[in-house]
Amino acid sequence: MCGIVGYIGDRPCRDILFRGLRKLEYRGYDSAGISVIREGRFDLLHSVGNLDKMESVLHQLEDGSTMGIAHTRWATHGRPSNENAHPHTDCSGRFAIVLNGIVENYLALRVRLQEEGHTFTSETDAEVVAHLLERSYNGSLRGAVAEAYRQMEGHFTFVAITTEEPDAIVAVRKETPLVVGLGEGENFVASAVPAFLAETRSVIFPDDGELVVVERGGVDFFTLEGEPVRREPEQVDWDEDAAEKGGYETFMLKEIHEQAVALADTLSQRLTHEGVVELEGLGLTEASARALGQVVIVACGTSYHAGLVGKYALERWARIPVEIDVASEFRYRDPVIGPNTLCVAISQSGETADTLAAMRLARGAGARVLAVTNIVGSQATREADGVLFTRAGLEIGVAATKTFLAQVLAVLLLALWLAEVRGTLPARRVRELTQELRRIPTLLNSYLEDSADAEIERVAREYAHHPFFLYLGRNIGLPVCLEGALKLKEISYIPTEAYAAGEMKHGPIALLDQGSPVVVVATDSHVYDKVVSNIQEVKARGRA
Ligand code: F6R
């Protein structure tokens, strides 16, 4: 999830763009860039690292231009570097673009463009957009943007400028955020309101596939076919703090609502059209995957719970013995591992000391280490033999939410890939399962959008006064319970236990008072009936 800001008006724009980037800093960054049009040419500035780095070189960009675009990047394709930082330009140097999101068919587009003679200077998916504009430009940037949009698959927002039309910025979105800010004789475009909140509170949120043409005197909206669309501005009354949280009360709540995007991004480009799992950078050949004798998962906290889901999936689908341990225990044990062991280290940050130490122990014993992490360039990525990235964007909330789901999805993809390579699931079954995975982001979104908040608030109010909660689940419902209990302890400070439902009668039931809340995860699975009998046991004893 990157940050985008664009400005066109009568004021010098360099510092306005940079201030906008600062306001989007909370979204994460590993590099940044600004492009302005001055005297009919682009002036470009890129920097790697945080925005302090950019600030220290900002003077290199002359502050005369009154229109430009800027970007903070959170790497998904290509490492953080000056070449990979946006804005990207085409071969002729007439088009510059910034992009947020993922262009799923970029490889096919890139190959085609290269065959036509286009030269690429970065490893990113975004650069194809600049070349697509160059190819289809026919006197109208709006037309070229529409044409590029038609050819692109994925979910993205991009903003384009051209030296051919220095009085307009054109933007378009598909399932990722875009907002227009309306000023007096000046206008803004951005991936989020905070980027321009200090300048204007009059905003328009364009729809998917709507072409947005931003000029000094006004902003116009068009369909892809060029029909004008009428849009009325709305006023945002958020303070700056609320704006950074996208209108949510806390970052955690905002991130809960970003889960569907986190999952869609993590899935993106990992499933072919036919539903075959393709994972790059695992550091495992198909032959070495077939030769694996054991998987050992190491992680801490929430990441450990995601790993537990992975254990069930790896054993069920890929038929590999899986051991899992919290990294802080594993690192002080004498585990039996060797060259046929794959150690999967799960860490959102990629910096957790115990997980890194467990990775080193596994490597020292000859195991291959695969890091599952959200952070490009983190220590875990440097020490592992291979990396499987979750693409959840920056998580600011201390309690993991969207990164947990993204980790679960990543380990499920790994299990399916191994199952296919090792021949433990028929290809047809893998396709069925990948089709199910594809549906999750949409299902999750519709759940979160359809009054989930009201229902959750009602339940929370009803039970908030209880001094103790018990969570029960079986199979993958168990790690879900462990994670739910961890969240309740961490966020609400309520003592909570999570147990395998079948273990309840072996002791924990003694903890329950009349009316103690027992949260049971009972999903549609082969253990559903068993879980229902556990619910009956709890009820029969007059609890819950
Ligand atoms: C709980 C939480 C922590 C982390 C744990 C590991 O909400 O966020 O339990 O999961 O500290 O962190 P990473 O995944 O960065 O190694």
What is the per-residue pLDDT across 507-527, written as a single tens digit (0 to 9) for each? 888 888 778 899 999 999 999
Cβ of 399 closer than 6 Å to ligand 1, yes or no, is: yes
For residue range 117-132, list pLDDT tens digits in order.
999 999 899 999 999 9
Does a structural domain hold residue 456?
no
Choosing from 404, 427, 450, the residue where a domain stops is: 450
The CB-side HSE value for 121 (13 A sphere, CA atoms) comes to: 14
User: Based on the number of CB atoms within 10 Å of its own CB, is 487 exposed (0-12), middle (13-18) or buried (19 or more)?
Assistant: middle
Bond prior to 479 in cis (omega within 30° of 0)? no
Does a structural domain hold residue 69?
yes
For residue range 186-245, list pLDDT tens digits in order.
999 999 888 999 999 999 989 899 999 999 999 999 999 999 999 999 888 777 777 778
Asked whether residue 260 falls in the same domain as residue 240, the answer is no
Asked whether residue 195 falls in the same domain as residue 332, the answer is no
Asked whether residue 407 falls in the same domain as residue 338, the answer is yes
Angle between helices 402-422 and 301-313 (to 10 degrees): 30
For ligand 1, the distance from its centroid to the CA atom of residue 498, given in whole angstroms, is: 18
70 closest CA partner among 119, 16, 121, 148: 16
Closest atom of ligand 1 to 404 CA is 10
Grade residue 394 by pLDDT with cuts at 50, 70 and 90.
confident
Cβ of 301 closer than 6 Å to ligand 1, yes or no, is: yes
Select from 300, 396, 402 the residue to mutate for testing ligand 1; criterion: most ligand atoms less than 8 Å from CB. 300
273 pLDDT above the threshold of 90: no
Asked whether residue 239 falls in the same domain as residue 281, the answer is no
Measured CA to CA, the distance from residue 541 to residue 508 in angstroms comes to 13
What does 277-297 look like in DSSP terms, one character per residue? Answer: B---S-S--HHHHHH--EEEE
137 closest CA partner among 115, 163, 99: 163
Closest atom of ligand 1 to 373 CA is 14
Cβ of 401 closer than 6 Å to ligand 1, yes or no, is: no
For residue range 368-379, list pLDDT tens digits in order.
999 999 987 788
For ligand 1, the distance from its centroid to the CA atom of residue 303, given in whole angstroms, is: 6
What does 110-159 look like in DSSP terms, one character per residue? Answer: HHHHHHTT----SS-STHHHHHHHHHH-SS-HHHHHHHHHHH--EEEEEE
Measured CA to CA, the distance from residue 21 to residue 32 in angstroms comes to 8
**Local structure of 24: helix, strand or coil:** coil
Choosing from 210, 244, 278, the residue where a domain stops is: 244
Asked whether residue 355 falls in the same domain as residue 432, the answer is yes
For ligand 1, the distance from its centroid to the CA atom of residue 305, given in whole angstroms, is: 10
Asked whether residue 228 falls in the same domain as residue 260, the answer is no
Select from 304, 330, 348 the residue to mutate for testing ligand 1; criterion: most ligand atoms less than 8 Å from CB. 348
Backbone angles phi, psi at 146, to 5 degrees: -60, -45
Does a structural domain hold residue 296?
yes
Range of the domain at 471: 465-540
61 pLDDT above the threshold of 60: yes
Does a structural domain hold residue 458?
no
Closest atom of ligand 1 to 299 CA is 16
Residues 6+ apart with CB under 8 A from 78: 84, 122, 123, 124
Choosing from 244, 270, 292, the residue where a domain stops is: 244
For residue range 295-353, list pLDDT tens digits in order.
999 999 999 999 999 999 999 999 999 999 999 999 999 999 999 999 999 999 898 98
Cβ of 187 closer than 6 Å to ligand 1, yes or no, is: no
Measured CA to CA, the distance from residue 446 to residue 451 in angstroms comes to 9
Residue nearest to atom 7 of ligand 1 (CA): 399
Does a structural domain hold residue 249?
no
Asked whether residue 217 falls in the same domain as residue 117, the answer is yes
Does a structural domain hold residue 194?
yes
| Residue 20: CATH number of its domain | 3.60.20.10
Residue nearest to atom 1 of ligand 1 (CA): 399
Asked whether residue 157 falls in the same domain as residue 276, the answer is no
Q: Which helix (H) or strand (E) holds 35?
A: strand 31-38
Asked whether residue 443 falls in the same domain as residue 514, the answer is no
For ligand 1, the distance from its centroid to the CA atom of residue 348, given in whole angstroms, is: 7
Closest atom of ligand 1 to 407 CA is 14
| Contact (Cβ atoms closer than 8 angstroms) between residue 126 and residue 86 | yes
- Mean pLDDT of the 85-101 span: 95
| Residue 391: CATH number of its domain | 3.40.50.10490
| Contact (Cβ atoms closer than 8 angstroms) between residue 409 and residue 377 | no
- Mean pLDDT of the 277-297 span: 95
479 pLDDT above the threshold of 60: yes
Measured CA to CA, the distance from residue 384 to residue 166 in angstroms comes to 47
For ligand 1, the distance from its centroid to the CA atom of residue 301, given in whole angstroms, is: 5
Amino acid 46 reads H
The alpha-carbon radius of gyration of the chain (Å, integer) is 25
As beta bridge partners, residue 41 has: 38
Question: In the prediction, which pLDDT does 1 show?
Answer: 66
For ligand 1, the distance from its centroid to the CA atom of residue 56, given in whole angstroms, is: 33
The residue with greater pLDDT, 274 or 218, is 218
Indicate the Cα dihedral angle 117, 123, 126, 130, nearest 10°. -30
- Mean pLDDT of the 267-272 span: 91
Cβ of 403 closer than 6 Å to ligand 1, yes or no, is: no
Instruction: Measure CA 221 to chain center.
Output: 28
Cβ of 348 closer than 6 Å to ligand 1, yes or no, is: yes
Asked whether residue 47 falls in the same domain as residue 104, the answer is yes
451 pLDDT above the threshold of 80: no
544 pLDDT above the threshold of 60: no
- In Å, what is the CA distance from 95 to each residue of 35, 89, 90, 98? 10, 5, 6, 10
Lowest mean pLDDT across 70-74, 244-248, 330-334, 498-502: 244-248
Cβ of 352 closer than 6 Å to ligand 1, yes or no, is: yes
Does a structural domain hold residue 455?
no
For ligand 1, the distance from its centroid to the CA atom of residue 400, given in whole angstroms, is: 6
Does a structural domain hold residue 460?
no
449 pLDDT above the threshold of 90: no
Q: What percent of the chain has pLDDT over 90?
A: 75
For ligand 1, the distance from its centroid to the CA atom of residue 25, given in whole angstroms, is: 22
Measured CA to CA, the distance from residue 344 to residue 321 in angstroms comes to 13
For ligand 1, the distance from its centroid to the CA atom of residue 525, given in whole angstroms, is: 28
Measured CA to CA, the distance from residue 216 to residue 198 in angstroms comes to 18
Mean pLDDT for the chain overall: 92
Cβ of 355 closer than 6 Å to ligand 1, yes or no, is: yes
Select from 304, 309, 352, 375 the residue to mutate for testing ligand 1; criterion: most ligand atoms less than 8 Å from CB. 352
**What is the count of structural domains for the chain?**
3
Question: In the prediction, which pLDDT does 344 show?
Answer: 98
265 pLDDT above the threshold of 60: yes
Asked whether residue 111 falls in the same domain as residue 12, the answer is yes
The residue with greater pLDDT, 274 or 512, is 274
Asked whether residue 271 falls in the same domain as residue 136, the answer is no
**Local structure of 25: helix, strand or coil:** helix
Select from 302, 351, 403 the residue to mutate for testing ligand 1; criterion: most ligand atoms less than 8 Å from CB. 302
